[in-house]
Amino acid sequence: MTTVFLSSPVVTVNSVDLTDQCTSATFSQSVDALEKTVFGNVARLYTGGLQTNELVLEMFLDYDAGDVWATLNGLVGVATTVKVKADAGAASATNPELTLTGTMLASLPQNFALGELQTVSVTFQGGAYTAVTA
C-alpha cells in the first residue's frame, strides 16, 4: 500500500481555485442507516438511505477580488459545486477528483486574533457526491 504525501492538492469552490489559501480539506461521505429488520430476524438489518455529505475547508482569509472572502461571501445560502483532488494532475484512479454538486455553505464565520494570520473554517453541507477517476 502506498502512502500519499500531499504536496500539490487542488481545491475549487464555485469554479474558483482557492488552493493557494487552503490548509486543510476534510471530505465526509455518509449514508443514513435505515432499519429493515422484520419478524424472524435474529439481528437488526439495515439498508442505506440518503447521503449526508460534507466538506470542511480551513483557509487563510484573503479579501482580494476573486479570492477567498469574495468567493465565499457570495455563496452563503446558495447551492454551488466544490471539488478536491490530492494532486494537480488529471483525475484518475490514483488521483480521484471528489465533487459535491448542489452543496450549500450555511455560514461564513471569520476569525480575528491579534498577531495571527486571519483564517476561516467553512463547512459545505449536502449535495450529490461523485468521485471522478478518469
* CATH, residue 51: 2.40.30
Give the distance from CA 107 to its chain's centroid: 14
Mean pLDDT value of segment 8-36: 95
* 112 found inside a domain: yes
Select from 79, 128, 119, 78 the least CA-distant residue to 100: 128
* 30 found inside a domain: yes
* 121 found inside a domain: yes
* 4 found inside a domain: no
Q: Residue 55 — pLDDT band, cuts 50, 70, 90? A: very high
Does the structure show a pLDDT above 90 at 8? no
- Residue 120's CB is within 10 A of a number of other CB atoms, namely 18
* 71 found inside a domain: yes
The overall average pLDDT reported for the chain is 93
* 3 found inside a domain: no
Mean pLDDT value of segment 103-130: 94
Each residue of 74-102: pLDDT tens digit?
999 999 999 999 999 899 998 999 999 99
User: Which helix (H) or strand (E) covers residue 27, if one does?
Assistant: strand 22-35
Q: Residue 7 — pLDDT band, cuts 50, 70, 90? A: confident
Mean pLDDT value of segment 25-31: 93
Domain that holds residue 113: 10-132
| CA-to-CA separations, 119 to 24, 57, 58, 61, 111, in angstroms, rounded | 11, 10, 7, 5, 6
Question: 87 CB contacts (<8 Å, ≥6 apart)?
Answer: 7, 8, 9, 10, 95
* 2 found inside a domain: no
- Residue 96's CB is within 10 A of a number of other CB atoms, namely 16
Give the distance from CA 133 to its chain's centroid: 17
Provide the domain count of the chain: 1
